[in-house]
Structure 1
Amino acid sequence: MEDRRRTVTWLPAVVTGVGVLVLWTVIAASDVVQPAYLAPSPREVWDAFVRANTHHEIGGGVDRVVRGEENYFLWEHLLVSLRRIGIGLALAIAVGVPLGLLMGTVTSVRRVAGPYLDFLRSIPPLAYMGFLVAWFGIYDTSKIWLLFLAAFPPIALATINGVRGVREDQVNAVLSLGASRRQAVTSVVLPATLPDILSGLRVAVGFAWTTVVAAELVNGLPGIGGLAYLSGTQNKIALSVACILVIGLTAIALDAVIRLIEHSLVPWRGKA
């Protein structure tokens, strides 16, 4: 019975995926899109993916063997982007969670900092790129700051919403037993807020991945976003699509990991 349920759960996704591949193949083979390189087939995208992860020869007068794309394998580009995103997310958590707890528990802080948080939330991350490069240069610092600015608002807002959902009688109970305000926050408020923090983290990871290409527009190599952008400007559409698929699949995998962590840390989430 359990195996049947798992099959039913995965079957729609598998059928949809097969249908998308078939439709993609038909469109690529029909010459509807011209020139043809603008609509690479699944096989061409796969070949570009394999080529980006192997040593291969290139011509141009003198044959030579090159390593992946831009002298890095695709998985190395991905790891560099993951490192940038990881640092940006870590900084967003380190700042967003304490600030969210403070804003959720201290009304005066919420009144002062709330408008600024809403202001940051409303600005597209790409708008920051110009002055971040001017301030921090074209290397990783500006990229990490951009990813931080993309991830910080949803984490802080999720924490605030979580704090607002904490029952006041629970806090008063531990205070009446002699706990300090700090102990009440760490032993009651923070654990009760953890499900919302993890939900905010899932949103923040999504924002970070949608921002990674923008973060790597300037001197973004190695980096999966930078490679996707550069390959598109060089009309290597199959490689660009391969990069986009890798970004999307990695985001899905990261979201699945966060959901597993959420299920482990807050198993009561969603239960009556």
Structure 2
Amino acid sequence: MSTTPALLKPADPADAPPEPAAPARSVWLRVRPVALPSGSLLLFLLLWQLLAASGTWSETLVPPPARVWDAFVDVSTTHDGIRGYNGTTLVEHLGISLRRIGLGAGIGVVAGVVFGLLMGTVGWVRSLFEPWITFLRTLPPLAYFSLLIIWLGINEEPKVTLLAVAAFPPVAVSTTTAVAAVPKQLIEAARALGASRWDVVRDVVVPSALPETLTGVRLAVGVAYSSLVAAELVNGLPGIGGMVKDAANYNNTPVVLVGIIAIGVSGLIIDGLLLRLERVAVPWRGRA
């Protein structure tokens, strides 16, 4: 009478070792988007503290992180009877500058999209305006800011105009390039089905050009942000760029760094929101 060898017996599922609930690689992939930026920030703060403590430069030039934090608290609150910086808190300074950027960049983006569509669809319009847009794109903001002050005064008009002019070329160029790159087969197919010129632009050209146009919008907002301090050089208080400029006049480096960090962080948030909008508006990008 033969017996089944032990090695040939079917394994009991209850005897199998339990599988790990979450493999280490899966956990790392989930925490990496937060861990890497946090780690780089901590490393930056450590190097900053070591550099400030080394004594190579005075605290006026390289203040330690603690002094910058104290300056952040001072400009964000009321202390010793003084409200924020120059009577305005950091949030209010930033809000006023964001309003200027929103208005100026908004005008520049709308104008850039309109001109981009015209230049991409009408050949003679592109030949007429493209050299001027390229010329404008190569000019630094400070090159024409003084002229805007002469024309428009020192109030809000030159600041908003400067930001609009800075934001206009990236959107116009990206939209023009995107419209010109729309496959001709799609346009011809739409016309063969009886679509009018407006139908072709609305249903074929705009959806095809939208991804590159949104990229141009992100670039335009970035250019407007980089022009913020220039826009607030004259009569910029209240405003975050004006605060930075005024603090620099008095060698108040901690407040200057607070303003720079506030501009950078708010810029990151806005760029993230625009990226989110791009993913919602053109979910097919990168998949088709």
Q: For this structure pair, what is the TM-score category when the shorter chain's length is used for normalisation?
A: over 0.9
Q: Secondary structure at the match of 2:135?
A: helix
Alignment partners' CA distance in 2, 1:179 and 1:89 = 34
Tell whether 2:113 aligns with 1:90: no
What one-letter code is carried by the residue in structure 2 that aligns with 1:86? G
Counterpart residue number, 2:9 = none
Equivalent in 31, 49, 70 of residue 47 of structure 1: 70
Alignment partners' CA distance in 2, 1:146 and 1:3 = 47
Q: Secondary structure at the match of 1:17?
A: helix
Alignment partners' CA distance in 2, 1:83 and 1:173 = 44
- What are the superposed Cα offsets for residues 119-168 of structure 1, whole Å, 9 maximum, x if unpaired? 01111111111010011110111000000111000000010111122111
The unaligned stretches of length 5 or more in structure 1 are: 58-64
Taking structure 1 as the reference length, what is the TM-score of the superposition?
0.94
Give the drift of 1:37. Answer: 1.8
- What are the superposed Cα offsets for residues 64-117 of structure 1, whole Å, 9 maximum, x if unpaired? x12110111001000000000001111112211011011011111111111111
Aligned residues of 2:178 and 2:208 also touching (Cα < 8 A): yes
Counterpart residue number, 1:259 = 275
- What are the superposed Cα offsets for residues 185-229 of structure 1, whole Å, 9 maximum, x if unpaired? 011111111111110011111111110000000000110001011
The number of residue pairs the alignment matches comes to 264
Q: Secondary structure at the match of 2:227?
A: helix
Larger-gyration structure (1/2): 2
Counterpart residue number, 1:9 = 33
Counterpart residue number, 1:67 = 83
Give the drift of 1:254. Answer: 0.7
- What are the superposed Cα offsets for residues 231-266 of structure 1, whole Å, 9 maximum, x if unpaired? 111111101001000101111111100010000000
Give the drift of 1:268. Answer: 0.9
Q: Secondary structure at the match of 2:60?
A: helix
Counterpart residue number, 2:251 = 235
Counterpart residue number, 2:92 = 76
Give the drift of 1:8. Answer: 2.0
What one-letter code is carried by the residue in structure 2 that aligns with 1:31? G
Counterpart residue number, 1:32 = 56
Alignment partners' CA distance in 1, 2:271 and 2:235 = 28
142-151 or 159-168, which deviates more? 159-168
Aligned residues of 2:105 and 2:167 also touching (Cα < 8 A): yes
Give the drift of 1:11. Answer: 2.4
Q: Secondary structure at the match of 1:70?
A: coil
Alignment partners' CA distance in 2, 1:52 and 1:237 = 13
Tell me the percent identity: 42
Equivalent in 170, 173, 184 of residue 186 of structure 2: 170
Give the drift of 1:3. Answer: 5.0
Give the drift of 1:6. Answer: 2.7
Q: Secondary structure at the match of 1:38?
A: coil
Q: Secondary structure at the match of 1:267?
A: coil
Aligned residues of 2:61 and 2:253 also touching (Cα < 8 A): yes
Aligned residues of 2:109 and 2:220 also touching (Cα < 8 A): no
What one-letter code is carried by the residue in structure 1 that aligns with 2:72? F
Alignment partners' CA distance in 1, 2:34 and 2:173 = 33
Alignment partners' CA distance in 1, 2:202 and 2:178 = 14
Alignment partners' CA distance in 1, 2:70 and 2:185 = 61
Aligned residues of 2:49 and 2:64 also touching (Cα < 8 A): yes
Alignment partners' CA distance in 1, 2:27 and 2:90 = 35
Counterpart residue number, 2:266 = 250
The unaligned stretches of length 5 or more in structure 2 are: 1-21
Aligned residues of 2:240 and 2:259 also touching (Cα < 8 A): yes
Give the drift of 1:9. Answer: 2.8
Alignment partners' CA distance in 2, 1:11 and 1:229 = 34
Alignment partners' CA distance in 1, 2:180 and 2:231 = 33
Tell whether 2:241 aligns with 1:225: yes
Counterpart residue number, 2:153 = 137
Taking structure 2 as the reference length, what is the TM-score of the superposition?
0.89
What one-letter code is carried by the residue in structure 1 that aligns with 2:34? W
